[in-house]
């Protein structure tokens, strides 16, 4: 079966399932008033243990819970009064170990927790943006991986949320590695530019000035020093055709000295 026919078949099955669900929904909604109506229902095994519960919580959430023989939950399906669905899996504690949730903004997320119930990993799609977050025991995100507007980024942060290291590619596929200091100030970056220029830049504590070491296509290696306003004050180039050269500029960008 070719891929196009297979897609059409899958689509037809999906439509059929949706339509059958709609028909079932109409059937239930049209049942006579003599039907059993309740806010809760327990399922009991042969020993009298509650093994399942279906009903409404005090907050109006509709829940189907499957329990162990001792009454501890292992799985629950929920829909809040606002229509937000979720599925949760429970450990032996019992604590929620995994939760899949779709919020009212259409964002879907999966949260995985440690045995003590602390969130340690979050995977989700917010709008058109997929992402992954790694959390410490306090719930702070220390590592993240995501795609946004065509750019792919792997980031490492402190418990306070300050970025320390970022590795990624932009929308054009150009790679970079960035190191950050306090207050998210860029201290060093290794990157490849659109013109093929490979550069290493280093900056002061405020992320200003510093130096840039690069390899410029059709020119050669170059080194430049910049003031806090980003203006070039001293540069040296090893021109592959003309040989080495140096120049100095004032704060207005005018050349004050050059060699040869």
User: Going residue by residue through the chain (260 aa), what tens digit of pLDDT does each one get?
Assistant: 444 333 333 333 333 333 333 333 344 445 555 677 888 999 999 999 999 999 999 899 999 999 999 999 999 999 999 999 999 999 988 899 999 999 999 999 999 999 999 999 999 999 999 999 999 999 999 999 999 999 999 999 999 999 999 999 999 999 999 999 988 899 999 999 988 899 999 999 999 999 999 998 888 899 999 999 999 999 999 987 778 999 999 999 899 999 98
d(CA 64, CA 21): 19
Answer yes or no: are the C-beta atoms of 76 and 65 closer than 8 Å.
yes
d(CA 136, CA 118): 9
178 assigned to some structural domain: no
203 assigned to some structural domain: no
86 assigned to some structural domain: yes
> What CATH number should be reported for the domain holding residue 84?
3.90.930.1
Give the structural domain span for 89. Answer: 33-113
pLDDT of the residue at 32: 57
Contacts of 7 (CB under 8 A, 6+ apart): none
170 assigned to some structural domain: no
What token pair was written down for 224?
């430049």
- By residue count, the chain amounts to 260
d(CA 154, CA 74): 34
pLDDT of the residue at 30: 54
194 assigned to some structural domain: no
Q: Provide the domain count of the chain.
A: 1
pLDDT of the residue at 208: 94
146 assigned to some structural domain: no
d(CA 163, CA 209): 20
Q: What is the pTM of this model?
A: 0.76
Q: Number of H helices and number of E strands within the chain?
A: 1, 20
DSSP H or E stretch at residue 221: strand 220-226
Per the listing, tokens 């510093």 go with 210
Q: Could you give the residue ranges of the DSSP H alpha helices within the chain?
A: 3-29
89 assigned to some structural domain: yes
Per the listing, tokens 């290291």 go with 165
231 assigned to some structural domain: no
């Amino acid at each position: 079966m070719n891929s196009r026919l297979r897609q059409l078949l899958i689509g037809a099955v999906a439509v059929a399932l949706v339509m059958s669900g709609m028909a079932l929904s109409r059937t239930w909604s049209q049942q006579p008033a003599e039907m059993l109506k309740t806010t809760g229902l327990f399922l009991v095994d042969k020993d009298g243990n509650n093994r399942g519960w279906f009903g409404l919580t005090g907050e109006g959430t509709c829940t189907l819970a499957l329990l162990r023989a001792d009454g501890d939950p292992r799985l629950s399906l929920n829909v809040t009064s606002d229509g937000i669905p979720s599925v949760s899996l429970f450990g032996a504690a019992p604590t929620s170990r995994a939760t899949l949730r779709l919020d009212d903004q259409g964002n879907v997320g999966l949260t995985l927790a440690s045995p003590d119930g602390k969130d340690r990993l979050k995977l989700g799609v917010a709008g058109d943006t997929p992402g992954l977050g790694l959390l410490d025991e306090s719930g702070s995100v220390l590592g993240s991986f995501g795609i946004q507007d065509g750019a792919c980024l792997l980031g490492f942060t402190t418990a306070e949320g300050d970025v320390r290291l970022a590795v990624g590619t932009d929308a054009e596929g150009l790679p970079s590695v960035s190191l950050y200091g306090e207050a998210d100030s860029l201290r060093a970056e290794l990157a490849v530019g659109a013109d093929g220029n490979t550069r290493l830049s280093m900056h002061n504590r405020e992320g200003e000035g510093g130096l840039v070491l690069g390899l410029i296509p059709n020119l050669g290696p170059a080194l430049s020093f910049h003031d806090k306003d980003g203006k070039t004050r001293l540069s040296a180039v090893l021109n592959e055709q003309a040989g080495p050269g140096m120049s100095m500029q004032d704060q207005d960008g005018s050349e004050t000295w050059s060699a040869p």
